[in-house]
């Protein structure tokens, strides 16, 4: 077997409208029209050749205790063009975050369902 690429990550959400406000309003993602009709609500976002799928289904981890720093939790890492602008957007929206403990230009934040994201400004 040979892995040839990364296709998508699926995240469980409890409130699709609240999730859309985070993913679209704060992260600036645009919904995809490629999601087929399924037996549950959800939305897909395309990021280049990859996607994030939001699934509104029962969460088997609901109520689980999460580490305060997202770098010590399972997470999805996304590249951003301007980390300072992302910090301003998160501050404006009241979304808490922690900076990377590695010293890299990165931060960790959570969506309304406690899914963790690392936002990284890659070197140019």
pLDDT digits over 18-56, tens only?
A: 999 999 999 999 999 999 999 999 999 999 999 999 999
Q: Which residue carries 């981890």 as its tokens?
A: 61
Query: Which residues, including other chains, have CB under 8 Å from residue 19's CB and lie 6 or more apart?
Result: 13, 43, 54, 111, 112, 113
Query: Which residues, including other chains, have CB under 8 Å from residue 108's CB and lie 6 or more apart?
Result: 69, 70, 71, 73, 75, 97, 98, 99, 100, 116, 117, 118, 119
Q: Which pLDDT tens digit goes with each residue over 43-95? A: 999 999 999 999 999 999 888 999 999 999 999 999 999 999 999 999 999 99
- In this predicted structure, the answer to whether residue 105 has a pLDDT above a threshold of 90 is yes
Q: How confident is the model at residue 124 (pLDDT cuts 50, 70, 90)?
A: confident
pLDDT at 63: 87
pTM, two decimal places:
0.91
pLDDT at 62: 86
pLDDT at 20: 97
Ordered by where they begin, the domains of the chain are 8-59+66-120 (3.10.180.10)
Q: For the chain, what is the HEC assignment?
A: CCCCCCCEEEEECCCHHHHHHHHHHHCCCCECCCCCCCCCCEEEEEECCEEEEEECCCCCCCCCCCCCCHHHCCEEEEECCCHHHHHHHHHHHCCCEEECCCCCCEEEEECCCCCEEEEECCCC
């Amino acid at each position: 077997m040979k892995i040839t690429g990364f296709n998508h990550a699926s995240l469980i959400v409890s409130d699709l409208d609240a999730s859309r406000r985070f993913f679209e309003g704060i992260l600036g993602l645009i919904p995809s029209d490629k999601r087929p009709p399924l037996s549950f609500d959800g939305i897909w976002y395309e990021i280049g050749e990859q996607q994030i799928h939001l699934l509104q289904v029962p969460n088997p981890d609901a109520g689980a205790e999460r580490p305060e720093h997202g770098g010590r939790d399972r997470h999805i890492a996304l590249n951003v063009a301007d980390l300072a602008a992302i910090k301003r957007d998160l501050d404006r929206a009241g979304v808490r975050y922690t900076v990377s403990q590695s010293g890299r230009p990165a931060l960790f934040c959570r969506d309304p369902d406690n899914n963790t994201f690392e936002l990284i400004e890659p070197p140019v």
